[in-house]
C-alpha cells in the first residue's frame, strides 16, 4: 500500500511539475509583442533574438541527462523551476536586444533542464504505474500553456503592469515547485549507468529526434509567432493576442488528457500519422483564409493534431534497452529543441523576405512530410 501511495503522490507531483513548465514557457507568448514594440524590432531581428531561448535549452539538455543520471531528476527539476521563475520577469526588463537575448538564453536553459528532468521522472512513474499515462503529463503542460498565456494577459488587462504580472506568475511557479518536489521519486528509483558525457544520437534515437525537431518547430511557432501573427496580420488587440496560443493550448490539453485512451485504442503509429496531418492542415487554414476566426480555428487544429505525437516519441525514447531514460531523452529532446532553436529565426527570415503567412505555411508542409515519412517507415 505504501508503494501504491508513493506512486500516486509521485504521479500528482510530476503532473504539477509539467504544469510549472507549461505556465512558465507560455507566459512568454503574450510578452513577445510587448518586447517587439518596446525594443523596436522587425520580424527578422525578433527572430534572431528568439534564437536565444532555444539555444539556452539546447546548451543545457545534453548536460541535464548526465546530471540527472548522477543526482536524480527530482533535484534538477526543482533547481530548473527556480531559474524559470527568476528569469521570467527579467524578460520584460531588457533595455536592448542583447539584454533580452541574454535573459532568454538563461530562461531557455531552465526550460531545457526542467523538460528533460520532468520527462525522465514521467517515464519512471509510468513504468511503476504499469500503463501508458505519458499523454496526461503532457496534457498538464498544455493546461499550463493555457494558464500562462491567458493568465498573464488577464493580469495586464486587470491593471497590472506586464512586469508585475510576470512576477505574480513567478511566485506561483515557485510555490508549486517547492511544495511538490518532495513527492517526486528519489534518485534510487531511476535507472543509472556510468556515463562520461553526451553521446551523439544514432539509429532509432536519431530518427525520433528528427521527428521531434519538426514537432517542436510547430509548437515553437505557436509560442513565438501566434501572438505576432494575430496582432499584426489579423489586427488583434495586444492584450488579446495571446488568445491564439491559448486556443492552441486548450485543444492540445484536451487531446492530451484523453490521449492515453486514444493511443490504447488506435495505436501510436496512427496517432502520429493522423495527428501530423491534422496539425499541418491547421497551419494552412490559419494562413490561407484571411479571417480571425479561421486563424483561431487553425491553431486549434494544430493543437488537436500535434497533441499526442510527442508523448508517443518520448515514451519510445524512454524505453530503449540498456539506455537510461534520462540519457535517451536528453538526446531526443536536444534534437527536438533544435527545432525551437532554428524555428524563430527561420520563420523570421522567411517572413521578412515574403510574409509571416508563408513562413507558417512552410511549417505546415513540414508536418505533412513527417506524416508520410513516418507512415513509410512503419
Average pLDDT of span 352-364? 93
- State how far the Cα of 274 lies from the Cα of 267, in Å rounded to an integer: 11
Per the prediction, the chain carries an average pLDDT of 87
What are the residues whose beta carbons fall under 8 Å from the beta carbon of 156, sequence distance 6 or more? 30, 162, 165, 239
Percent of the chain predicted with pLDDT > 90: 39
Overall average pLDDT of the 247-272 stretch: 88
Taking only the tens place, the pLDDT of each residue in 196-230 is 455 556 667 788 888 999 998 998 888 788 888 99
Query: Which residue bears the cell 551523439?
Result: 200
Going by C-beta distance under 8 Å and a sequence separation of 6 or more, which residues neighbour residue 362?
A: 350
* Residue with the three cell numbers 500553456: 145
pLDDT of residue 322: 67
Nearest C-alpha neighbor of 264 from the set 126, 128, 132: 132
pLDDT at 194: 44
| Cα 134 from Cα 278, distance rounded (Å) | 21
Domains parsed from the chain with CATH numbers: 2-186+201-377 (1.20.1250.20)
167-109-340 Cα angle (round to 5): 100
Query: pLDDT tens for residues 119-169?
Result: 989 988 988 888 788 889 988 987 888 788 788 888 988 888 888 999 999
As a whole number, mean pLDDT of residues 101-111 equals 95
Chain position carrying cell 476566426:
293
Q: What is the structure's pLDDT at 191?
A: 57
Instruction: Calculate the alpha carbon distances from 34 to 93, 190, 228, 350 in Å.
Output: 11, 42, 10, 22
pTM score > 0.85 for this model?
no
Position 29 pLDDT exceeds 90: no
pLDDT score recorded for residue 32: 86
Question: Mean pLDDT, to the nearest integer, of 55-67?
Answer: 87
pLDDT-wise least confident of 14-23, 32-41, 94-103: 32-41
Amino acid at each position: 500500500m505504501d508503494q501504491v501511495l508513493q506512486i500516486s503522490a509521485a504521479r500528482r507531483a510530476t503532473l504539477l511539475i509539467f504544469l510549472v513548465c507549461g505556465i512558465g514557457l507560455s507566459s512568454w507568448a503574450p510578452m513577445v509583442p510587448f518586447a517587439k514594440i518596446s525594443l523596436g524590432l522587425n520580424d527578422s531581428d525578433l527572430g534572431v533574438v528568439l534564437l536565444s531561448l532555444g539555444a539556452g535549452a539546447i546548451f543545457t539538455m545534453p548536460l541535464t541527462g548526465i546530471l540527472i543520471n548522477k543526482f536524480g531528476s527530482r533535484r534538477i527539476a526543482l533547481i530548473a523551476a527556480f531559474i524559470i521563475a527568476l528569469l521570467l520577469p527579467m524578460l520584460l526588463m531588457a533595455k536592448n536586444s542583447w539584454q533580452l537575448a541574454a535573459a532568454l538564453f538563461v530562461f531557455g536553459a531552465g526550460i531545457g533542464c526542467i523538460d528533460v528532468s520532468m520527462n525522465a521522472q514521467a517515464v519512471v512513474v509510468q513504468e511503476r504505474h504499469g500503463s501508458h499515462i505519458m499523454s496526461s503529463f503532457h496534457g498538464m503542460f498544455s493546461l499550463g500553456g493555457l494558464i500562462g498565456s491567458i493568465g498573464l494577459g488577464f493580469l495586464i488587462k486587470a491593471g497590472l503592469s506586464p512586469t508585475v504580472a510576470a512576477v505574480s506568475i513567478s511566485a506561483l511557479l515557485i510555490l508549486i515547485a517547492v511544495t511538490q518536489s518532495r513527492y517526486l521519486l528519489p534518485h534510487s528509483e531511476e535507472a543509472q549507468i556510468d556515463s562520461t558525457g553526451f553521446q551523439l544520437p544514432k539509429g532509432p534515437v536519431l530518427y525520433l529526434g528528427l521527428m521531434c525537431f519538426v514537432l517542436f518547430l510547430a509548437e515553437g511557432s505557436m509560442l513565438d509567432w501566434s501572438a505576432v501573427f494575430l496582432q499584426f496580420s489579423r489586427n488583434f488587440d495586444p492584450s488579446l493576442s495571446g488568445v491564439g496560443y491559448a486556443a492552441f493550448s486548450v485543444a492540445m490539453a484536451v487531446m492530451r488528457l484523453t490521449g492515453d485512451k486514444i493511443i490504447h485504442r488506435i495505436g501510436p503509429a496512427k496517432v502520429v500519422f493522423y495527428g501530423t496531418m491534422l496539425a499541418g492542415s491547421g497551419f494552412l487554414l490559419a494562413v490561407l483564409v484571411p479571417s480571425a476566426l479561421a486563424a483561431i480555428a487553425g491553431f486549434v487544429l494544430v493543437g488537436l493534431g500535434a497533441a499526442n505525437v510527442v508523448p508517443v516519441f518520448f515514451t519510445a525514447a524512454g524505453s530503449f534497452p540498456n539506455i537510461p531514460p534520462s540519457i535517451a531523452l536528453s538526446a531526443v529532446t536536444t534534437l527536438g529543441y533544435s527545432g525551437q532553436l532554428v524555428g524563430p529565426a527561420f520563420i523570421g527570415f522567411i517572413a521578412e523576405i515574403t510574409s509571416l503567412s508563408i513562413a507558417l505555411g512552410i511549417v505546415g508542409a513540414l508536418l505533412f512530410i513527417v506524416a508520410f515519412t513516418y507512415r513509410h517507415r512503419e
